């Protein structure tokens, strides 16, 4: 491939409710591999024919009815590698494929974690921390050069949220989960491409709540979506685009797509 490989990651918030968003993305951007989170459908209900019509002839799914679900759609040949159950309850939150050349692409949807950042008061927060703990054990033993994309449901830096003081006790930016994500990153030396290409202190968001009547004017965003790569692949990363205008498309997801480019 003469140009870099383009990998998009997007929490689509129901693929069957928002197929038009995929069309709009592809109308403006050449995407070779599309990683989706929160597809919200079982594998047999996934709109496979429509995705194949867009050129994604290699489709790998980990679906679940109504909730969760991840998918990797590719125009280039890929081979299935794994579907890890880091939630330890059967939820469909991870899928991985091997790209031509050997790099492994992991697509993950980390649990949101409820509302209260305390596992004693909120079991969902504990499940989120445990999920990340299992991921960290896996990551520390990882041998293959890898790309890790998805909705991590954590905005790690003060510049990744609209008001770090206001969100200090809000799940997605609470200190304990930020520390936990930091241990995951350190376990493999992952390169956070979001901040590699847009260094702090510049603000960078990928999610805006549906509750905001005018998301663009208030700009109360958070950087919940990420693309990481192994240190061995850092030199192959050519760019990462956060497609902010997608938040204003018709019937949008509350997340916007990230498009990473790799010279693999």
- 188/253 Cα distance (integer angstroms): 31
Confidence of residue 212 (pLDDT cuts 50, 70, 90): confident
Q: Are 226 and 150 in contact (CB under 8 A)?
A: yes
Taking residues 69-98, report their average pLDDT: 96
| Prior bond of 201 cis (ω within 30°) | yes
The total of other beta-carbon atoms located within 10 Å of residue 227's CB is: 26
* Between residues 236 and 2, the one the model is more confident about: 236
Q: Where are the beta strands (DSSP E) in 88-210?
A: 94-98, 104-109, 146-151, 191-192, 207-208
Helices then strands, counting H and E runs in the chain, come out as 6, 14
Q: What's the CATH code of the domain at 202? A: 3.60.10.10
Print the domain residue range for 156.
Answer: 5-262
Claim: this prediction has a pTM higher than 0.95: yes
pLDDT tens-digit readout, 163-186: 999 999 999 999 999 999 999 999
Query: Quick one: 179 exposed, middle or buried, by C-beta within 10 A (0-12, 13-18, 19+)?
Result: exposed
Q: Are 117 and 171 in contact (CB under 8 A)?
A: yes
Q: Are 63 and 39 in contact (CB under 8 A)?
A: yes
Q: How many distinct structural domains can be found in the chain?
A: 1
């Amino acid at each position: 491939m003469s140009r870099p490989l383009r990998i998009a990651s997007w929490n689509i918030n129901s693929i069957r409710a928002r197929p038009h968003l995929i069309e709009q993305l592809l109308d403006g951007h050449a995407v070779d591999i599309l990683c989706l989170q929160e597809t919200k459908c079982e594998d047999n209900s996934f709109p496979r024919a429509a995705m194949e019509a867009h050129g994604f002839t290699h489709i790998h799914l980990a679906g679940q009815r109504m909730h969760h679900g991840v998918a990797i759609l590719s125009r280039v040949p890929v081979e299935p590698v794994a579907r890890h159950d880091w939630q330890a309850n059967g939820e469909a939150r991870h899928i991985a494929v091997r790209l031509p050349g050997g790099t492994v692409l992991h697509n993950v949807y980390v649990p949101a974690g409820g509302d209260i950042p305390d596992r004693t008061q909120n079991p969902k927060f504990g499940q989120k921390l445990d999920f990340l703990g299992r991921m960290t054990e896996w990551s520390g033993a990882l041998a293959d050069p890898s790309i890790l994309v998805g909705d991590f449901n954590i905005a790690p830096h003060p510049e990744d949220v609209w008001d770090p003081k206001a969100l200090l006790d809000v799940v997605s930016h609470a200190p304990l989960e930020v520390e936990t994500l930091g241990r995951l990153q350190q376990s493999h030396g992952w390169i956070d491409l979001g901040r590699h290409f847009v260094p702090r202190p510049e603000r960078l968001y990928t999610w805006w709540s549906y509750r905001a009547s005018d998301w663009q004017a208030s700009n109360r965003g958070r950087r919940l979506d990420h693309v990481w790569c192994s240190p061995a692949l850092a030199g192959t990363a050519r760019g990462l685009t956060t497609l902010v205008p997608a938040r204003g498309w018709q019937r949008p997801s509350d997340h916007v797509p990230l498009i990473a480019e790799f010279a693999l």
